[in-house]
Chain A
Amino acid sequence: MTGQDASRAERLQAAFLVAPAVLVLAAVALFPILAAVWLSLHRSILVFGEERFIGVENYAFLLRDTRFLTALGNTAYFTLVAVTVELLLAMPLALLMNRAFPGRGLLRASVLIPWAIPTVVAAKLWAWMYNPDFGLLNQLWPGRDVNWLGTPGLALHAAILVDVWKTTPFVALLLLAGLQGIPQDLYKAARVDGAGPWRVFWRITLPLLSPALLIALLFRTLDAFRVFDAIYVLTEGGPANTTETLSIYAYKTLMRSGNFGYGSTLSVVTFLCVVLLALGYLRLLGRSGVTR
């Protein structure tokens, strides 16, 4: 009886203690999301001076909106390519940084420089390097005047390159943390058993690194899917919307056009995509945790 009371009191106390945090979260995260969903059910354009409930009409329009489909395609392509390349580059980098060799501290520090530069500054820097007339890239590659940011098809890849340059160090760092959590005994045992480096990598490093890999994938996918600042600085979504991502489309609709209803619809859909991605990863992560 008293034990039950004590545990009830404890639960009450716990609820009481987390209540402020929950309230703050509800106020700063839940409320804006619900407000956006509510707005997305309205026709609300500031200059028109009207705001009326239209149900799911905005969502119906979204399905017919070719610009939305292009933006969704651009975003998905950007995310897929950028994250894949980042992982492929970060893996050897992390393995290298994990080895003991002279100058390792220096390497670890210098690898972080791109990550430390604010995205807008880095994007501006790259925009000048991409400049077809006096940019560094075309100077290094004389005779070929490549218009990096002005050619449809090429511009999105130029943006991917900036993202890869900027966030590969972050992925490498996450993987490095994962590598350092692998017990050395396993490697010693493998060596005793006569396993080659390739086999060690596939049978020991990669499986034990998978939780860290998944975390890195989760972070990067969600980040890349919401990409805004780098592309906005590089191209503003041009040429001809070939680099327009969902976030840029939503921003232009919301803040430039003042179309709050449809802009909120775009934001809500972006949010739902991100939630779905996150849920997928979390399931994978849970499974990999169980097998361990």
Chain B
Amino acid sequence: MRGQGTSAALALLLWAGTTACAREHPQVAKTPPSPHRTRIVFKHQPLWGDEAPFRALLRQFERTHPHLEVVTEHIPNAADVAHQYFLTALEGGASDFDVLVVDVVWVSEFARAGWIADISGAFPPETLREAYFVGPVEAVVVEGRTFAVPWFVDVGLLYFRTDLVPRAPRTYAELERFATQAMARQPGLAGYVWQGRQYEGLTCNVYEAFWGRGGETMEGGRIALKTPPMSQALAYLRGLLTSGVSPPSVTSAAEEEVRRTFQQGNAVFMRNWPYAWSELQAPGSPVRGRVGWAPLPTESGEAGAGTLGGWQLALNAHTPPERREDALRLIAHLASADANLLMALHYARNPPRRSVYAAPALHDGAPFIASLLPAIERARPRPVTPYYNLVADILQSEFSAAINGIRTPEAAMERAQRLVDHLMEEAP
């Protein structure tokens, strides 16, 4: 009710603004925002790098759809700030944007809250399953209905120094041994750096250590926390800190802090996302040419699963029916295989589609991304639940308490399980 009032007032203001402008500058009428050209607004995070290829992608759409005008608007880069923006805008019933980007852990929440539209008609779950990797499809299909289309994916990787260790470690024991040996040869070196600050990155790191011990995220529809693999995972991460394999700075580190430490040549191993690769191999990087990546280690030695990250394209549930068809066409265009390739070549965004990894252009233009295929196929999502943001808050503080030694892993997970179960019970 109040939301409608404000958006009506805003619309009025905007209308007044546009008419005023039209009156003041009649000469701009060469390319008029003519009444028969519909505006489709796309909200996304800044892409970084040269905007030109992305602009060309949008213009291509406008050429094939002359009755449409595509307008892009940026949202904040930090995921939690972007989430807050969508939470307030969509709960308030905003309809001033049609297509939006959604983090892999939000789809379920946004769908449940009725903020993004069911687009199964245009993108049936079966067709998505054929074209896309399992992880992203699991994230965008909620109770058998499609609510978003994968745009690009991310996955946790292990980076290692090829000059300091014989090969990538396959087990946790190997990782610790290699790190200790390298540290003994070169004092001042850190062994393994990862993201231990109390935030979403810590949750990703804990889940990777959990899956590497055979942990299952959900058990009978319940988020399983009080389990032996989870206690072992937390004890392992705490142990890395107490044994000195990981420096104490890890408990306050996010992606960029550890990337800098590793790039300065001060660490043997690093857990990070694929974005770090181009930074590490950039001209002038102290570790250029001495870095390799591998799947994360596991207890048994088989290749580990990294946490699935990435962004999807969704349709605003408040978009009026007359714009829906066109907005869906824009989503289809942006999520096409060609667009996936363009995003990989120009913005280093990993395609969510299997077929793109076979494209010769990807192997020539972005060989690193092409090589990620096995890691992306194994990527696993964090708990898929509409209440993820409520759960994440509990997980972050209890994980942090466990790796800092404030509570034992068992006590922390006891608490976390109780709070999460309580939350889920209350859910209608």
Contact = CB atoms under 8 A, between A and B. Distances in A.
Interface of A: 45-50, 67, 130-134, 145, 147-152, 155, 235-242, 252-253, 255-259
B86 to A, nearest CB: 11
A150 B252 contact: yes
A132 B251 CA distance: 10
Given A239-B400, A256-B84, A257-B389, A152 B248 contact: no
Contacts, number: 118
A253 to B, nearest CB: 8
Say which size band chain B's interface belongs to. Answer: 35 or more
Given A149-B252, A257-B390, A259-B390, A238 B198 contact: yes
B386 A235 contact: no
B87 A255 contact: yes
A176 B91 CA distance: 48
Given A256-B389, A257-B393, A258-B389, A47 B109 contact: yes
A151 B403 CA distance: 11
A240 B390 contact: no
Contacts of A134: 260-261, 264
Interface string B245-289: 001111111000100110010100000000000000000000000
A253 B397 CA distance: 13
A238 B252 CA distance: 8
A238 B400 contact: yes
B112 A49 contact: yes
A27 to B, nearest CB: 13
A235 B198 contact: yes
Main SS at interface, chain A = loop
Interface string B400-414: 110010110000000
A151 B427 CA distance: 35
A259 B91 CA distance: 13
Contacts of B358: none
Which secondary structure dominates where chain B touches chain A? helix
B198 A47 contact: no
23 contacts: A46-B91, A47-B386, A48-B428, A49-B428, A50-B428, A131-B249, A131-B257, A133-B257, A133-B266, A145-B247, A145-B248, A147-B248, A147-B251, A148-B252, A150-B252, A151-B251, A235-B197, A235-B252, A237-B198, A237-B397, A240-B406, A256-B392, A256-B393
Residue among A134, A239, A256 with the highest chain B CB neighbour number at 10 A: A239
Contacts of A147: 248-249, 251-252
Given A49-B113, A240-B400, 12 more contacts: A45-B390, A46-B113, A131-B257, A133-B257, A235-B252, A236-B198, A237-B397, A238-B199, A240-B406, A256-B83, A256-B84, A258-B113
A241 B400 contact: yes
Nearest to A260: B91
B114 interface: yes
